[in-house]
Amino acid sequence: MDSEKKIVLVVGGAGYIGSHVVKALRDAGKSPVVFDNMSSGLQENLLPGIPFIKGDTQFPEQLASAMKGVDSIIHMAALKAAGESMTEPEKYAENNISGTINLLNAATAAKVKYFVFSSSAAVYGEPQYLPLDESHPTTPINFYGHTKLAIENLLHWYSQLKGLRFSSLRYFNAAGYDVDGELNGLEHKPNNLLPIVLETIVGRREKVEVFGTDYDTRDGSCIRDYIHVSDLADAHLKALDYLKHENQDLVINLGTSKGLSVLEIIQIAREVSGQEFNYTLGHAVPVIRLLFWQKLNWPQNCSAGDQNTVMRTHSAGNNSAGLSAEFVVFRSPNHQTHLIIIPIEQLCVFIF
């Protein structure tokens, strides 16, 4: 195949996760090109030698001109604040849904063959059973989750009608930073547990507030499934390889299935930083069926090999970084499990 046709266009490639995907593509010998409007992407996330196109999915002509030589697309660009999506749905409809329609139309017009979509476990809504698998009903309970599901539905139709092979990756919480230290651009406006812990360590906050200590978990605090961003980037490459080798669509969950509790995160932070800090007290639920191991042969080198890696690489990112989480799974005092959406700005720390 002509090498020009092997270009992978990473839409949103200057963002937190997208930049790690670009790095993984480069390190694997692929030919990534970044397409980003820089609304939340960062200049420092643009790697030397990687072509960059400043453009916006809202403008079809910009997308059309970016398609030259593109064989595959990895779509990372989206607005992702669940709380905001409930107050400004029109903003999310235009950016996430309409922008993706423009992207799909440009891709199919240019005969792009493969499309990897960075989706979200927010498509599931409240769990009807655990662990969640890919057959679980999809009934989002916020508009952000609806936009992700709407895009997945579009992909199914474009696959049937236009022959575009796609993979949709549903994941929970990305964490950490590039283990090689090449990428350390901080996500805009982080409001999640790890950066809050780190801001407390460096004195930007007085304390970490832990909400709930009587949950049915090993230490009474709530648990989340954290995936190191480098592993998540690798999963996007595995998904792309799957499309090329299997020539069939793929909708799949991503995660470690081994959560860390709030108190465990605090303890790891103390060990890695060597600093004591204040916290006030306020469930390892395996929420992902491990189909990705069977389908993608995806080793989680950073997430599973050393749990300190997530905290250590967060610390390397100038002690503050963001996570791509938008929902909370929690177990209530009567031990019923719920998946809910909470506007992040209403919490000092996630309750999971």
Determine if the peptide bond prior to 140 is cis (ω within 30°): no
Burial call 79-100: b when 16+ CB within 10 Å, e when fewer = bbbbbbbeeeeeebbebbbebb
Distance CA 69, CA 66 (A): 9
Other CB atoms within a 10 A radius of the CB of residue 169 amount to 23
Q: Which of 144, 171, 177, 215 is catalytic?
A: 144
Distance CA 336, CA 288 (A): 17
Two tokens, residue 33: 């090109």
Per the CB < 8 A criterion, the answer to whether 22 and 32 are in contact is: yes
Cα separation values, 285 from 130, 165, 195, 324, 337, Å: 8, 33, 23, 19, 9
144 tagged catalytic: yes
Two tokens, residue 279: 């916290």
Residues across the chain: 352
Please measure the distance between the N-terminal and C-terminal CA atoms of the chain and give it in whole angstroms.
48
Q: How many CA atoms lie within 13 A of 96 on its CB side?
A: 26
Distance CA 17, CA 15 (A): 6
Per the CB < 8 A criterion, the answer to whether 266 and 279 are in contact is: yes
The residue among 115, 127, 125 whose CA lies nearest residue 151 is: 115
- Catalytic site residues? 144
